[in-house]
Amino acid sequence: MKILGIDPGTATTGFGVVMSNGNDKYQVLDMGLVETTKDQPHGHRLALIYDGITRIIETHRPEVVAIERLFFATNALTAIAVGQAIGVIKLAIHRQNVPVFDYTPMQVKLYVGGSGKADKKQMKLMIKKLLRVKAKKGKKSHFDDTADALAIAICHARKSSNLKKT
């Protein structure tokens, strides 16, 4: 199964395209970011995110998309902006007729890190181990967003595999 994992954001939206054979073996087909800058008008940033996700789907033709569900407890303005980004991402997915599944950060941590309380460092180590990927040169947070997207794809693969077994 070819899975597109997405870690939504307004400045950086991480993505990872993973092929899963259903036996806990994975191959990374592509990974990276859809980036915008703060000096761009908000509507333009949303359009860039929409166009970027559309291109990724058209290029890789995933069978399914897995996206992280919004979870913010403190900053309402950030939550609203990310919620709008999620909206355009889901619109892009819908327009390409691809099924989409949402996962909470705790679900991703549980299915990938083995504990719903796994920290960022543990998750990145698991991604590097499972997928044999290295952080690309650049800002530290850039690999964080890409690693999160890859983790979301693996979460979906593992959850789907568990559902098929039961």
Catalytic positions are 7, 68, 145
Measure the CA angle with vertex 116, ends 114 and 117; round to 5°: 105
What's the CA dihedral at 22, 94, 40, 10 to 10 degrees? -40
What is d(CA 53, CA 92) in angstroms, rounded to the nearest whole number?
7
Measure the CA angle with vertex 15, ends 61 and 96; round to 5°: 35
What is d(CA 153, CA 26) in angstroms, rounded to the nearest whole number?
10
